[in-house]
A = this chain, B = another copy of it.
Amino acid sequence: MVKKYGLEDVSKATVSRMATYLRCLTYLEQQGASTLSSRELASLTGVSAEQVRQDLSVFGRFGKRGTGYDVAHLKTEVEAIFGRGVERWKCCIVGVGSLGTALMSSRMVQKWGFRYVAAFDRDPRKIGTHVERIPVYSIDELKTIVRREHIAIGVIAVPASSARNVARILCEAGIRGILNFAPQSIKVPEKVPMLSVDLSQEFLKLSFYIQSAEQRAREEQIQIDAASHNE
């Protein structure tokens, strides 16, 4: 089916939620659910029902009025939006440390059509070995192999100090997109999409929200105390 929407004007938030919907749809299909309403999908994902309908309507009209959405059909449509069926994304990982190894072990990622075909490291003891059946090469071979194998996605799992250099090499090799797990801001040409995930930042953010929640709780307690005092 040919899509009429322009991928370029889909908001980041919508893309993120679409991925969550897809995860839920997969789960629901496994559970044997056949149809679901926007309200159900909303309550499963923690967004509002209007938001679900608004998000889906960006890409098409997938629902039946009065009935809701067909789980299997909607899943196929959302998969197509994320490029499933179009191709199986070839990935490589740079940095075979504990995080890199953990990422390669994740069966999850494979399920969506992503496939690691190469790993790269600087450590001579690792070069030539295999991790999760994926061969580990020297970073010097990166450009050659990325080009030869037509690798689409490069995953950066090296220390912050080498992240920028790795990103540069990946871009020069003609990589189509980058996933950066190094705690380092990286600039890449605008035509190379990049997403960064900084695990330590998540801890920092969480500690902020904990303090925020506990401050709010204290303030509410003071209000309750004051109110009971006035009785």
> How does the 8 Å CB contact mask read for A54-91 relative to B, with 1 for contact and 0 for none?
00000000000000000000000000011100100101
Asked if B207 contacts A24 (CB within 8 A), the reply is no
Per-residue contact bits, chain A 170-204, to B (CB 8 Å; 1 contact, 0 not): 00000011110001110100011101011111111
Q: Which residue of B lies closest to A12 (CB)?
A: B205
Query: Main SS of chain A's interface residues?
Result: helix
Chain B residues within 8 Å of A46, by CB: 185, 187
Given contacts A108-B200, A199-B106, A215-B8, contact A206 B187 (CB under 8 A): no
A45 at interface by CB-CB < 8 Å: yes
CA of A153 to CA of B103, assembled, Å: 23
A35 to chain B, nearest CB (A): 19
A46-B187, A185-B44, A185-B45 as given contacts; A83 in contact with B201, CB under 8 Å: no
Q: Which residues of B contact A208 (CB under 8 A)?
A: 7, 10, 15, 18, 81-83
> A27, A179, A187, A212: which has the most chain B beta carbons within 10 Å?
A212
* Minimum Cβ distance to chain B for residue A91 (Å): 8
Q: Which residues of B contact A224 (CB under 8 A)?
A: none
Please tell me if the beta carbons of A207 and B89 are within 8 angstroms of each other in the complex. yes
Hey, which chain B residues are within 8 Å of A185, CB to CB?
20, 23-24, 44-46
Which among A15, A45, A192 has the highest number of chain B CB atoms within 10 Å?
A15
Interface residue stretch chosen among A109-117, A120-128, A133-141, A142-150:
A109-117
CB of A222 closer than 8 Å to a CB of B: no
